[in-house]
Structure 1
Amino acid sequence: MTRLSVEMLAADTVEPITSAGHAQLGIAVLLGIAVIVLLITKFKLHAFLSLTIGSLALGAFAGAPLDKVITSFTGGLGSTVAGVGVLIALGAILGKMLADSGGADQIVDTILAKATPRSMPWTMVLIASVIGLPLFFEVGIVLLIPVVLMVAKRGNYSLMRIGIPALAGLSVMHGLVPPHPGPLVAIDALGANLGVTLALGVLIAIPTVIIAGPVFSKYAARWVDVPAPDRMIPQRASEELEKRPGFGATLATILLPVVLMLAKALVDIVVDDPDNVVQRAFDVIGNPLIALLAAVIVGIFTLLRPAGFGKDRLSGLVEKGLAPIAGILLIVGAGGGFKQTLIDSGVGQMILEISEDWSIPAPLLAWLIAVAIRLATGSATVATVSAAGLVAPLAADMSTTHAALLVLAIGAGSLFFSHVNDAGFWLVKEYFGLNVGQTVKTWSVMETIISVVAGA
């Protein structure tokens, strides 16, 4: 297991923008995070503005020149958006295609038709995991919760017995499996291999989602025994369509990016020759940008055409798919700016110097840092990008497998105990008709189980 060592930074050490000592830097980090938390929770300021102000506050508390702080923040913002912005956009388009064509509903309806009462929690976790591969967490919730409510009502199931597995499937995919933004940012920051990280992420996700989903839902249903709330269930897109794509074609379209990226990883392992023509070809088609772009193009023929979409509707669909991600891109970018401010202030160097005698495994340190930032900011993405920046030097001398595991440790930590400063907390509370205490007993505990099991 890789241990902490300050010498790992020797080759790539960058002169910090401040000469503050460890105590001042530590206080600056705490105050910077406190500013972000206060602005988000107390003043309800948008996360993008809160992260921007918090980054400037961090630099000021650390005694860094303001012009250098601004340069660090904007540089981090730009590099982060450049690294994952196109991927987020393609993922949003694919998600919109799935929703508007009725393809997602087709998968849900097909699987539900074959499920028995005993297998229903396992069916829900399977649906959520498959649907959650290309969709943002919030989009997945909006898409699946109406289905969860209908299943619970129609089958007289406990809402928690059905809902927790669905939430677990979405959350695990969001935190551990690329092409979701958090894992992609961590892979980019640590220089990890995307294909290997994807393969290990799926491997870790399977037992994690089983424990946090169907298994935990038994206890959640006892702690919080609530029926599905009587509310107007939103009409699904497919009910407005005369026809929709087939189950097999839809599933193949969703899994195409994952298959291409996994194929690249396998070729890299088997061939292991950068000059080999086959490996170079798979390096291209397995690139996440090409893989997602291929899924979008294929989706035009497998999803939109069968649903009766013409050329005129395609342009409008893309525009509607891209519109909601503006805020996500800004938050992800600002998180990268905050991360870069932390790095350039010397916080990463400070943590390594302080902890060089701790003998703490690098994945455990990465998990703990991500947990701390997650608890403070309420954002899994902010926790991921910030923790990745702090522990990036540790990955310099790691093997491909260890670097991928470091990424997954960060992703696991970023999911720890969602509470009142997390938008997902309130989304679940309102959709399920819970109070704050009930949401903590179910959703928050489920997120903690995911974090601990995946990080173990």
Structure 2
Amino acid sequence: MSALSVELLAAATPPPITDAGNTRLALSALAGIAVIVVLITRFKLHAFLALTIGSGVLGSVAGAPLAKTVTSFTTGLGTTVASVGTLIALGSILGKLLADSGGADQIVDTILARTSEKRLPWAMALIAGLVGLPMFFEIGLVILIPVVLLVARRSGQSLIRIGIPALAGLSIMHGLVPPHPGPLAAIDAIHADMGTTLALGVLVALPTLAIAGPLFGRVASSWVHVSPPERMTPARASDELDTRPSFVATAGTMLLPVVMMLAKALADVFVDDQGSLTYRIFDVIGTPLIALLAAVIVAMFTLGRAAGFDKERMSATVDASLAPIAGVMLIVGAGGGFKQTLVDCGVGQTILDWSKDWNISALLLGWLIAVLIRIATGSATVAIISAAGLVGPLAEGMSTSHTSLLVLAVGAGSLFFSHVNDAGFWLVKEYFGMDIPQTLKTWSAMETVISVVALGFVMLLSVII
């Protein structure tokens, strides 16, 4: 097993902080989630406070010592902010430079000029799929958000109809297609072939994206009507500028972190000697933090300088980009804290214990286990790794293609129904300016459609090949 798989698997299955039985753990998870939803929807409490209180209720009902519950929550919050917060900040700076320089206007104007109104959702799905290939969901989201919001505002179309295809493209790549960490770890645990899994993953991802993205987006837009939030939507900068960056320069700057991370992913696959200088170079430049930081620095010249920004204007732009995301980072961090409390209390392990005696198809079993762990813990990565570890022995004797399909079934299950214990849920809610019921009807429903549709294609392929 690779170092990445060992590290993630260890993080996914820590020793429980309580000796509560399975029934009590299930009730504690339900109580914690219910408290969060009620505090936010009925009492209008800020999500950060609701998640904090909900984590305390979870630990109390589970019988965990208060000190250990607090430690789990703060550890999860700190880990999430450390891993995601810096990326959100860098992505916000890049987005602000993109907007203030007129670069976002250039991208949006080009998309609108060359794409018909009916094809806009399909164009957003394609762009998001390409951007999401080497990127974590959160990174791709903060990079694409300015474009999504501006396209929705300028085209006059529903934010949901434009945004759902972009979210679907990012999410599907994250859960089904290596080199994302979850699929990579599952490939290692199940001993699947990388190339076969990648090929079949793309084969499943494309029709799933069409159904869960543009097609479902049309349906979801009839359920929920929201406008791009003013605090997140960049103002049109072109009218105040004498010049603006070219389309090529803007697109190149946006794709720079994508290319850097994709280069690292390819090096992971094709470079055998992980101690070689070539591998170490790509390993560094493809780190999300380095890739986004490089993109921000490059953007200061290709976007800021091209628009005539002086040092003072550049500094003001960076300062202005950070204030709107303070609340987002706290909410996302608290979501990570709640997730870690669930994991540390042993909820995920409880589901694994319940599933040991199930007698069903290995593909369906892997999907169901991943679904239950995803719903309980909120983490797609924890779900895919835990489920893959459990069903891994069932892959013995399977053909190469069916072993890869088992990886994809587990990956599909790990995307099922994101809700209040998932940091991604809060990211989408805040960026799109929705309330909890609206987010459940759009984002959560989209994730469920992805999971079910992808499983359907996996089962179909298992019959054909």
TM-score range, shorter chain: 0.7 to 0.9
CA positional deviation for 1:66? 0.9
- Per mean C-alpha deviation after superposition, the further-off stretch among 80-89 and 113-122 is 113-122
Conserved 8 A contact 2:267-2:282: yes
Matches within 5 A, 1:277-316: 277-316=277-316
Q: 1:148 — aligned with what?
A: 152
AA matched with 2:48: F
Correspondences of 1:29-428 after superposition (within 5 Å): 29-116=29-116, 119-123=119-123, 125-126=125-126, 144-145=148-149, 147-148=151-152, 150-152=154-156, 159=157, 165-176=161-172, 206-216=206-216, 236-358=236-358, 360-370=364-374, 372=375, 384-385=378-379, 388-389=381-382, 392-394=385-387, 409-411=413-415, 413-414=417-418
1:379 aligns with none
- Distance (whole Å) between structure 2 residues aligned to residue 188 and residue 327 of structure 1: 32
Q: Is the 8 A contact 2:103 2:244 kept in 1?
A: yes
Q: Distance in 1 between matches of 2:371 and 2:407?
A: 13
User: Which AA in structure 2 matches 1:169?
Assistant: P
1:367 partner amino acid: V
SS at match of 1:361: helix
Bigger Cα displacement from structure 2, 256-265 vs 195-204: 195-204
Cα distance in 2 between the residues matched to 1:212 and 1:120: 15
1:71 and 1:441 mapped to 2: Cα distance?
Answer: 33
- Alignment of 1:23 onto 2:19: no
Distance 1:90 1:427 in 2: 15
The answer as to whether partners of 1:127 and 1:166 remain within 8 angstroms in 2 is no
Q: Per-residue deviation at 1:325? A: 2.0
Distance, in Å, in 2 between the alignment partners of 1:326 and 1:74 is: 17
Aligned partner of residue 323 in structure 1, secondary structure? helix
* Cα distance change of structure 1 residues 443 and 291 upon mapping to structure 2, 3 Å threshold: closer
- Other structure's SS at 2:282 match: helix
Question: Offset at 1:415?
Answer: 7.8
Name the amino acid aligned to 1:310.
D
**Alpha-carbon distance in 2 for matches of 1:317, 1:453:** 42
- CA distance, structure 2, for counterparts of residue 384 and residue 11 of structure 1: 14
Deviates more, 1:28-37 or 1:9-18: 9-18
Contact kept, 8 Å, 1:165 with 1:212, in 2: the verdict is: no
Is the contact between residue 243 and residue 306 of structure 2 (CA under 8 Å) also seen in structure 1? yes
Work out the CA distance in 2 between the residues paired with 1:186 and 1:61: 31
Of 48-57 and 421-430, more deviation after overlay is shown by 421-430
For the residues of structure 2 that align with 1:447 and 1:275, how far apart are their CA atoms? 38
| Cα offset, 1:448, TM superposition | 4.8
The alpha-carbon deviation at position 147 of structure 1 amounts to 3.9
Deviates more, 1:281-290 or 1:344-353: 344-353
8 A Cα contact 2:351 2:369, kept in partner: no
CA distance in 1: counterparts of 2:366 and 2:55, whole angstroms: 26
Show CA shifts across 1:116-170 (max 9, x none): 4664553454567679988775896675455435435xxxxxx46xx65522233
TM-score (norm 2): 0.71
Indicate conservation of the 8 Å contact 1:199/1:262, yes or no.
no
Identity, % of aligned positions: 51
1:242 to 1:144, Cα distance in 2 relative to 1, 3 A: farther
Compared CA separation, residues 237 and 174, structure 1 to 2 (3 A): farther
Question: 8 Å contact 2:131–2:258 — kept in the other structure?
Answer: no
Structure 2 distance, partners of 1:127, 1:11, is 32
Q: Distance in 2 between matches of 1:187 and 1:141?
A: 25
Partner of residue 3, structure 1? none
SS at match of 2:414: helix
Partners of 2:260 and 2:291 within 8 A in 1:
yes
SS of alignment partner, residue 307 of structure 2: coil
- Describe the SS at the equivalent of 1:18: coil
2:409/2:455 contact within 8 Å kept: no
CA distance in 1, matches of 2:11, 2:131: 43
- Which amino acid letter does the alignment assign opposite residue 16 of structure 1? P
Checking the alignment, whether the CA contact within 8 Å between 1:124 and 1:165 is kept in structure 2 is no
Alpha-carbon distance in structure 2 between the residues aligned to 1:426 and 1:327 = 9
Checking the alignment, whether the CA contact within 8 Å between 2:78 and 2:333 is kept in structure 1 is: yes
Contact kept? 1:175, 1:414, Cα under 8 Å = no
TM score, norm. by length of structure 1: 0.73
In the alignment, the residues of structure 1 paired with residue 12 and residue 139 of structure 2 have an alpha-carbon distance, to the nearest angstrom, of 36
Superposition CA RMSD, Å: 4.7
What is the deviation of 1:449?
3.5
Q: After the TM superposition, which of the residue ranges 62-71 and 169-178 deviates more from structure 2? A: 169-178
Cα deviation, residue 352, structure 1: 1.0
Name the aligned partner's letter for residue 49 of structure 1.
Answer: L
- Residue type of the partner of 1:304? G
Using the TM superposition, give the Cα deviation of residue 306 of structure 1 relative to its aligned residue in structure 2, in angstroms.
0.8
Question: Structure 2 regions of 5+ residues with no counterpart?
Answer: 1-8, 396-402, 457-465
Alpha carbons 1:76, 1:337 under 8 Å: kept: yes
Letter in 2 for 1:361: L
CA distance in 2, matches of 1:246, 1:104: 10
Alpha carbons 1:186, 1:407 under 8 Å: kept? yes
Superimposed CA distance per residue, residues 340-377 of structure 1 (whole angstroms, 9 cap, x where no aligned partner): 2112212222111111122553344323443x46xxxx
Task: For structure 1, list consecutive stretches of 5 or more residues without a partner in the other structure.
Answer: 1-8, 153-158, 374-382
